[in-house]
């Protein structure tokens, strides 16, 4: 038998592939499990540098979010629905920049929705800032 | 030749041809290796705010979460605000990844603002994850 095998070595070139298949399957299962397809949706404002205030060409539109959960602009309370008209009517020729000043106690959900409304109304950039008052 | 004859005698030629199977499995394996990005999830469930013009964000990003109690989460741990920018710098290395913040709608907006400002110091873009508008 052994002698026969050596004699016919040229013909007897099949390798045993079962361990290879086992390994490949294990690797495959590992990578299937480890791959996490995170598919997030969301909003992103396009401000390049939030810290520099000097290079804003036009005066921005301010919204204040006090802790009471209102949306204020120029001292008057507008609802979340009032954000988009404010942004649209702010300037006739150019889309305004919007700064949302949040006070302590304001909810992040509201801030996000105000950002969304402002971007929806065509605001050029939306920036969050903390009201220091 | 010898093998085939023996197997046909032993178990009536019941050996299946496994080469196409191996081919397919290899292709699957290569697909999953290439598509594996190993994103570390923040590890906290947030109730996302509902918005109207949410767009799809880039998949390969650095994830942070802001929980209901205004704690910042990154890869399963609570981190301080001051640790955020070193963590981002470590995570993006030189690959220019964007930062995505999963924000809870009842979190404090001032913490969110500080987190966004902190992230924008080092990251190219900072986005807020929201609900799908559907």
**Which pLDDT tens digit goes with each residue over B11-34?**
556 777 888 888 888 898 888 888
Q: What is the largest CA-CA distance in chain B?
A: 79
Residue A21 confidence (pLDDT):
85
Q: How far apart are CA B134 and CA B54, in angstroms?
A: 10
Q: Which residue of B has its CA nearest to A37?
A: B59
**Edge to edge, what strands does the sheet with A97-102 contain?**
A76-78, A71-73, A61-65, A97-102, A125-130
Q: Copy the structure tokens of residue A112.
A: 């996000």
Q: How far apart are CA A61 and CA A63, in angstroms?
A: 7
Cβ proximity of A58 and A94 under 8 Å: yes
Which chain B residue is nearest to residue A84, measuring alpha carbons? B52
CA distances from B124 to A21, A87, B49, B58, B100 (A): 43, 26, 23, 12, 11
Where do the domains of chain B lie?
2-35, 62-129
Q: What is the mean pLDDT of chain A?
A: 76
Any idea which of A37-51, B44-58, B75-89, B95-109 has the lowest mean pLDDT? Answer: A37-51
Q: Which residue has the higher pLDDT, A14 or B72?
A: B72
The CA distance from A97 to A56, in Å, is 8
Quote the CA–CA distance of B38 and B52 in Å, as a whole number: 30
pLDDT range class, residue B7, cuts 50, 70, 90: very low
Q: Is the pLDDT of residue B121 over 70?
A: yes
The residue with greater pLDDT, A81 or A7, is: A81
Compute the CA torsion angle B58, B63, B67, B70 (nearest 10 deg).
Answer: -110
Mean pLDDT of all residues in B92-104: 83
Residue at token pair 């920049």: A97
**Separation CA B48–CA B66 (nearest Å):** 10
Quick check: B112 pLDDT over 70?
yes
Tell me what pLDDT residue B8 has: 46
- What average pLDDT score do residues B91-118 get? 85
Among B26, B109, B133, the residue with its CB nearest the CB of A110 is B109
* Residue length of chain B: 134
For the cut 60, the answer to whether the pLDDT of residue A52 exceeds it is no
Question: Nearest CB to B25: which of A25, A44, A111?
Answer: A25
What percent of chain B is modeled with pLDDT above 70? Answer: 86
Q: What is the pLDDT of residue A92?
A: 66
More confident residue, A99 or B40: A99
CATH number of this structure's domain A61-130:
3.30.420
Rg of chain A over CA atoms, in angstroms? 31
Q: How far is B125 from chain A (nearest CA, A)?
A: 7
**CB nearest to A31's CB, from B29, B109, B129:** B29
Q: For this complex, say whether ipTM is above 0.85.
A: no
Topology, domain B62-129: Nucleotidyltransferase; domain 5 (3.30.420)
| Probe site for chain A from B113, B122, B132 (most A CB atoms < 10 A) | B113
Question: How far apart, in whole angstroms, are the C-alpha atoms of residue B19 and residue A130?
Answer: 64
- What number is the average pLDDT over the span B38-49? 79
Q: Report the alpha-carbon distance of residue A64 to residue A72 in Å, rounded.
A: 5
With a CB-CB cutoff of 8 Å, which residues 73-112 of chain A face chain B?
A: 102-112
Does A11 score more than 70 pLDDT?
no
Q: Give which of A32, A67, A109 to mutate to test B binding, by max B Cβ within 10 Å.
A: A109
Strands (E), chain B: 55-56, 62-66, 72-74, 77-79, 99-103, 126-130
Considering only residues 10 to 69 of chain A, which have any Cβ-Cβ distance to chain B shorter than 8 Å? 11-12, 14, 17, 20-21, 24-25, 27-28, 31-32, 34-47, 49-51, 65
Tokens of B56: 């799809």
**pLDDT class of A50 with cuts at 50, 70, 90:** very low
In total, the C-beta contacts within 8 angstroms joining chain A to chain B are: 166
Of the candidates B80, B71, B81, which has an alpha carbon nearest to the alpha carbon of residue B44? B71
Average pLDDT value over all residues in chain B: 81
C-beta atoms of B41 and A36 within 8 A: yes
């Amino acid at each position: 038998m052994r002698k026969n095998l050596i004699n016919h070595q040229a013909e007897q070139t099949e390798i045993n592939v079962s361990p290879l298949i086992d390994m490949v399957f294990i690797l495959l299962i590992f990578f299937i499990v480890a791959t996490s397809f995170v598919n997030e949706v969301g909003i992103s404002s396009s401000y390049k540098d939030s810290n520099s205030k000097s290079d804003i060409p036009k005066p921005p539109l301010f919204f204040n979010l006090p802790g009471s959960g209102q949306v204020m602009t120029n001292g008057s309370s507008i609802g979340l629905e009032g954000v988009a008209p404010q942004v649209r009517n702010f300037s006739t020729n150019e889309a305004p920049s919007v700064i949302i000043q949040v006070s302590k106690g304001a909810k992040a959900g509201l801030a996000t929705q105000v950002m969304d409304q402002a971007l929806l109304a065509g605001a050029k950039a939306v920036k969050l800032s903390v009201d220091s008052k | 030749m010898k093998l085939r004859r023996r197997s046909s005698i032993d178990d009536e030629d019941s050996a299946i041809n496994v080469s196409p199977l191996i081919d397919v499995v290899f292709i699957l394996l290569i697909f999953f290796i290439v598509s594996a990005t190993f994103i570390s999830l923040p590890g906290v469930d947030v109730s996302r705010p509902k918005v109207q013009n949410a767009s799809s964000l880039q998949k390969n990003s650095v994830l942070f979460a802001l929980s209901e109690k205004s704690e910042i989460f990154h890869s399963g741990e609570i981190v301080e605000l001051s640790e955020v920018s070193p963590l981002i710098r470590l995570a993006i290395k030189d690959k220019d990844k964007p930062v995505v913040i999963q924000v809870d709608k009842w979190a404090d907006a001032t913490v969110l603002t500080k987190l966004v400002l902190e992230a924008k110091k080092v990251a190219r873009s900072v986005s807020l994850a929201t609900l799908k508008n559907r």
